[in-house]
Amino acid sequence: MATMPATQDNRPLTELPWQHGYLTATAASERSAVVVGAGIAGCSSARALAERGYQVTVVDRHAAPAEAGSGNLQAVVYPKLSLRQDQLPEINLAALRYASHYYQSHWQAGRGDQCGVLVLPEGAGQSEEFAAIADRHRGADWIELLDTPALNRATGLSLAAASGLWFNQLGWVQPQAVCRALLDHPAIRYCRAEIDTLNRSGQQWQLLADGRPVAAANQCVIASGVDSARFSQTGELPFKPIRGQVSHLATGQLATAPRAVVCAKGYLAPPRDGLLTLGASYRRDAQGTQLNADEHRHNIDQLSDSDAGLAQLLAGVEVTALDGRANYRATTPDYLPLAGPVPDCPAMLERYAFLGRDAKTVKPLEGAYHPQLFMLAGLGSRGFSYAPLLAELLAAQMIGAPEPLPATLCKALHPARFVIRDLKRNRLAGYPTVKSSAQLG
């Protein structure tokens, strides 16, 4: 009988340990990091590292943080729960519970409002699911199933929905104010540059712009939104940019402004400085950041289709009078972010080539990673919910501390998961660096 490979403590190994094998900073004196990108991912990562004693340099092509995906007037911290016992809803739940605490100080400082978020069901099937979700969390102080009178009291609107899930500890944030506040720490330095090369030189990562060194540190975090795959070390990671547009309504355009965030197909936030945000479109095919009337129309229609009360509220809105903002979200094939060490894909392909012949093979072979290179990207449509918790995860991994999430969830977020999946499925055409199968064998 074939013997199973064993772990260091001699328990039989049941899974290939591809998620291990990356380096962490060992001594507190070695704690320095460069972060490429100053959206919510980069700013929350920089803050998590600074609070662990790191000296951090954040580099962004813009003069100020949160000018790209994270640059909307308002970002809703919205919940997406499900009854499925699956990693995506489990991560979503952990992230939103963490975010509701994380943003407390920002809300108290007026960088948004913890006004509560109401989620309306999309159809009868989802009404039943929402009731079952509320039942699963019965007794919790952060989720409640509301009936029509209660949801109208919570939002100050006249909605027709028979029920909705109410999250009293969530709300919306002002992205630019939150990102600026996160970077406001004596150990964080901000630097404006367009980085094109990450170069490992000795024990340091050097960031280069047009061949010119801009910053260097022992560890590096890529938090570059839709551009996270532009570096030679990340070119084989699968990101898809998806354009989206929010619409801005002046408070006077509505008979009543909501007191809480309402999410259905799309969302509507309470006003900030006389403007409220309605969003968002999701356009795989569209390019550029020009505003477009069709997407304003879509934002109004998707909310109107969700509830007769919202349809009445939005009926008089003149699309041509709307302002807004368009940008991109970075999505991944399984809609989960990439948080963790950056795999050395060519080395992984070579090391684990045997998976193409038998995907179930287990060997005591850890993964291959770029030394001290990490990433937090692919946050999709929920960056403001995910970033706080995942920045903590990343910082824990970078110093070698216990991860704040169960191992199965860390694996589901691991940047190496796609190369392992593709090896097991023998789908390697998308890897330009792949050698012929004869060489791999």
Q: Tokens in use for 220?
A: 């590096």
CA distances 29 to 32, 352, 362, 402, Å, are: 8, 35, 37, 20
Q: For residues 192 and 435, which CB has a smaller minimum distance to ligand FAD in the complex?
A: 192
The CA-CA-CA angle for residues 383, 388, 394, to 5°, reads 100
Half-sphere exposure in the Cβ direction for 80 (13 Å, CA): 20
Q: For residues 57 and 152, which CB has a smaller minimum distance to ligand FAD in the complex?
A: 57
Residue from 100, 234, 245, 304 binding ligand FAD (CB under 6 A): 245
427-433 long-range contacts (CB < 8 A, ≥24 apart) are: 428/349, 428/356, 430/236, 430/238, 431/236, 431/345, 431/346, 431/349, 432/235, 432/236, 433/236, 433/345, 433/346, 433/349
Three-state SS for 30?
helix
Q: For residues 157 and 229, which CB has a smaller minimum distance to ligand FAD in the complex?
A: 229
Cβ distance 176 to 162 under 8 Å? no
Provide, rounded to whole angstroms, the least separation between the CB of residue 286 and ligand FAD.
Answer: 11
Three-state SS for 330?
strand
Of 141-149, 197-205, 240-248, 300-308, which part binds ligand FAD (CB under 6 A)? 240-248
User: Does residue 385 belong to the site contacting ligand FAD (CB under 6 A)?
Assistant: yes
Q: For residues 122 and 194, which CB has a smaller minimum distance to ligand FAD in the complex?
A: 194
Provide, rounded to whole angstroms, the least separation between the CB of residue 14 and ligand FAD.
Answer: 34
DSSP structural state of residue 335:
S
Q: For residues 127 and 224, which CB has a smaller minimum distance to ligand FAD in the complex?
A: 224
Provide, rounded to whole angstroms, the least separation between the CB of residue 150 and ligand FAD.
Answer: 24
* Sign of the CA dihedral with 171 first, then 177, 178, and 179 last: positive
Taking CB under 6 A as the criterion, which residues in 298-337 touch ligand FAD?
A: 327-329
Of 238-246, 308-316, 362-370, 388-396, which part binds ligand FAD (CB under 6 A)? 238-246
Q: How far is CA 65 from the centre of its chain?
A: 17
User: Does residue 42 belong to the site contacting ligand FAD (CB under 6 A)?
Assistant: yes
Site string for ligand FAD, 216-235 (x = CB under 6 A): -------xxx-x--------
Binding site for ligand FAD (CB under 6 A): 36-42, 59-62, 67-70, 72, 75-76, 194-195, 223-225, 227, 244-246, 279-280, 327-329, 377, 379-385
